[in-house]
Amino acid sequence: MKKLIFLLTFTLTITMFSHNGGTAPVTDGLVSYWTFDQRDIIDDTARDVWGKNDGTIVGDPKLVTGRVNSALEFDGFGDYVNLTNLGDFGNQLGSFTFEAWVKTSIKRERWTTLFKVRDAECAMGWGIDFNGWREDPNFRLKLERTFLFDNSLEFGPKFDENINFTKDVIRFYRTNNVELKVGPPVCKHSTAGLRFPISDGEWHHLVWVNGADVDENGREHQESAIYIDGKWKVRGRGSGQPVIRIPFMESVYLGAGNNRGKAERFFNGIIDEVRIYNRPLTEDEVAQNFEIGLSVEASEKLPVVWGALKTAQ
């Protein structure tokens, strides 16, 4: 067994250095990794090559040429991948990284979802939408800026039925219940909007990083950063009551939004190389993963070696 592990480790090292200048995708904190390569699609299962969260393919997305090897193409009509509720990942949602390669173009004037989960009664929500923003005059004015980071507390659950088509806006949000010192829990929304022509028909590497720290008064501060194509775009910082971290009751959908068990806002385009981490990646780590995505030959080989190493251990 030791010889097998050594051999696989040696193979991994040779692969990394001979094809990509000594770099490899970051694995520290990696929860799940869906390559969407042909070898990792078995019937209606999209294999998680790193964790235990194999996805279930719903509808008939096509296996097409991706940014790295193959990928899944969604037609915007009922296609998505159920990524499960990711185990206890929700407990760490104060610190996370979501990463994916995407390629899409606007086919019709509507907003769509890259990934999303929303539990009942505002228990937990997490996701990224393309070309959509809340129908609110104040929010619309703020979007004249490049970036909006909003932390708000609202009494009672509030959902996204008032989202409108807004071209070239990527919407990042989290929602959860917050315990107050006095009174019942309230619904907390943490929303960010970034102007970027994401639906231009080109491949883009999208990374959403979120960290959390607590100040001397016990107030939790959420710090987000958004990177596109390996480059830092914006950062935002919000503060408020401590976030209650609970596992998702509903599954995370990729290529659609899971609105309390109902799939909606289906994605139209190609998604590849999806990774979720339970910590914020650094700027250097984001750049490292981006460069790996540009080195197709090396990236194709790494998941197989990782899977073998995990099995051997």
For 77-89, what is the mean pLDDT?
94
Q: How large is the angle between the packed helices 2-20 and 296-312, nearest 10 degrees?
A: 170
Q: Write the burial class of residue 109 (CB in 10 Å: 0-12 exposed, 13-18 middle, 19+ buried).
A: exposed
Residue among 218, 224, 268, 239 at smallest CA distance from 103:
268
| pLDDT for 148 | 45
Tell me the domain boundaries of the chain: 37-90+106-201+241-273
pLDDT for residue 190 is more than 80: no
Q: Write the burial class of residue 180 (CB in 10 Å: 0-12 exposed, 13-18 middle, 19+ buried).
A: exposed
Mean pLDDT of the chain: 78
Structure tokens at 65: 């040429």
Residue among 238, 271, 284 at smallest CA distance from 115:
271
pLDDT for residue 160 is more than 90: no
pLDDT for residue 2 is more than 90: no
The number of beta carbons lying within 10 Å of the beta carbon of residue 10 is 10
* Residue of 175 and 137 predicted with greater confidence: 175
* pTM of structure: 0.81
* Residue 142 to residue 137: CA distance in whole angstroms: 9
Evaluate the CA torsion angle 127, 166, 274, 71 in order and state its sign. Answer: positive
Q: How large is the angle between the packed helices 296-312 and 283-294, nearest 10 degrees?
A: 110
- pLDDT interval class at 249 (50, 70, 90): confident
Strands (E), the chain: 30-34, 41-42, 45-46, 55-58, 62-65, 70-75, 80-82, 96-105, 112-118, 124-134, 147-154, 163-178, 186-195, 200-214, 220-228, 231-240, 253-254, 257-259, 262-264, 268-277
For 228-246, what is the mean pLDDT?
73
* Residue of 38 and 212 predicted with greater confidence: 38
| pLDDT for 14 | 36
| pLDDT for 157 | 38
pLDDT for residue 309 is more than 50: no
